[in-house]
Structure 1
Amino acid sequence: MGLGGTFRQASSSERIVRAVLAECAAVGAETVMFDGPALAGLPHFNPEKPDRTPEEQALVEAVRGADGIVIGSPGYHGGYSGLVKNAIDLLEDLRGDPRVYFEGRPVGLVVTAAGWQACGTTLSALRDVVHAMRGWPTPVGVAVNSVEQKPFAPDGSLADDGIAAAVRAQARQIMGFRMEAGA
C-alpha cells in the first residue's frame, strides 16, 4: 500500500510512490494508494477521540493488511509534510495489534525536495519514524532533487533513468522482503 503526496493531485511524490506500486503490481502485488487529496480529507489525529471516520478506518485497515508499504513526502524545511505526519500519527491505532505498527514489513520511502540537503534530511527523518514504528526501511530510498532533476516525461512516464532505476530497485526490495518473509 502506498501513502503520500501533497494537496495537489498527481504531485511528484505521489507519482513516484505510484511508480513503485506499479513495479510491485507488475510482479503480482495487489496495491492501493492513499494520495495527497485522500490524506487531506483526514481530520487531525486526536488520540482522545476513539471514533474514526470511514476514511481514517480505511487507511488504518489498509496498513493493517499490507505486507509492504511505500511512503512518499515532499521535503518541507528539511522534514516531511504535515499531511504525511497526520496519516502516520493515525497509525497509533495499530499499537495493540499482534503486528504492531509496521512490524515485520518493508517500507519504501520516496522524497521530493528542492535540493539534496532537504532530500537527505527528509529521507532520514522518515527512516527514523519507520524504525520507531518497527518497520524495515528498504536500503534504497528514492530521493528526487526537483531543482536538478526532471523526473517525468510529457506523457507522465519516468524520464530520468536514475530515478527509474531507484524505483525498480525499491520495488524489488519490497517484493523480495515479502518473498523471504513468506508473505
Structure 2
Amino acid sequence: MAGTFPPRARKIVGLGGTFRQASSSERLVRAVLAECAGMGAEVIMFDGPALARLPHFNPENPVRSDEESALVEAVRGADGIVIGSPGYHGGYSGLVKNAVDLLEDLRGDARVYFDGRPVGLVVTAAGWQACGTTLSAMRDVVHAMRGWPTPVGVAVNSVEQRPFDATGALVDEGVARAVRSQAEQIMGFSMERPA
C-alpha cells in the first residue's frame, strides 16, 4: 500500500494524552502516527504535557502563545489528524477539549476546522461503556468540525487490556491490528484530496 501514495508526504497531526507523559492514550496515538510514518507521512505529536501548557481557550482574546500557534498551524496544514483521550465520566478529557476548542481559530480558513480530513480517534477507559460513550462523543465533535472520523476507532478497556509491555512496545495483536487499520484509513482517505 505504501507504494500507492503520491510523492508529496502527507502531514498527520496527533494530539492527546494526559498530564502523565507516556499515558496509554498518548502511546496509542503515537502508535497510529508511527504506522502513518511507515507509510510515508510526516507526523507531529502534541502530547498531554504539551497540551497542559496551553492556556484555557478564550475566544475573546485573539493573542496566542507560541504553543497555541504551533498547534493551530500544525492542524491547519494537516492532511489527517489523530485525537486520543482517556474516557472521563462518559466524555473526553478537559485537556483534549481545550486543545480542540483552540481550533476555533480555523473557523475563517478556506478549509474550515477539519474540513474533509480523516480523523482517527483513540480512547482508553476503565470499562467498555466508557470506551463507547467517549468514542461517540469524540465522533460527534469531529462531525461538528466537518471532519471524517475513520470507520475504525481504537478503544482500549484499561481494566481488561494491557496493550503495552514494560518497555512501551505495543504487544496486544488485536489493538495493533486496529491501530494499523486506522492508520491505513487515515492515509488512504487523505490521498483522495488534491495536494
Please classify the TM superposition score into its range, dividing by the shorter chain length: over 0.9
Structure 1 equivalent of residue 72 of structure 2? 60
Report the Cα offset of residue 16 of structure 1.
0.3
Structure 1 equivalent of residue 192 of structure 2? 180
List per-residue Cα deviations over 1:124-179 (Å, max 9, x = no partner). 00000000000000000000000000010122111111100000000000000012
Work out the CA distance in 2 between the residues paired with 1:181 and 1:166.
24
Structure 1 equivalent of residue 105 of structure 2? 93
2:143 to 99, 119, 131: 131
SS in 2 for 1:25: helix
Work out the CA distance in 2 between the residues paired with 1:146 and 1:155.
17
List per-residue Cα deviations over 1:35-57 (Å, max 9, x = no partner). 00000000000000010001000
Which amino acid in 1 is paired with 2:191?
Answer: M
Work out the CA distance in 2 between the residues paired with 1:180 and 1:38.
31
Work out the CA distance in 2 between the residues paired with 1:75 and 1:156.
21
Instruction: Give yes or no for the alignment of 1:165 onto 2:177.
Output: yes
2:156 to 115, 140, 144: 144
SS in 2 for 1:181: coil
Work out the CA distance in 1 between the residues paired with 2:190 and 2:134.
25
Work out the CA distance in 2 between the residues paired with 1:120 and 1:129.
14
Aligned length, in residue pairs: 183
Report the Cα offset of residue 182 of structure 1.
3.5
Which amino acid in 1 is paired with 2:140?
Answer: D
Which amino acid in 1 is paired with 2:132?
Answer: G
Which amino acid in 2 is paired with 1:162?
Answer: G
- Note the residue ranges of structure 2 that are not aligned, 5 or more in a row: 1-12
Work out the CA distance in 1 between the residues paired with 2:66 and 2:167.
34
Structure 1 equivalent of residue 28 of structure 2? 16
Instruction: Give yes or no for the alignment of 1:40 onto 2:52.
Output: yes
- Note the residue ranges of structure 1 that are not aligned, 5 or more in a row: none
Report the Cα offset of residue 69 of structure 1.
0.1
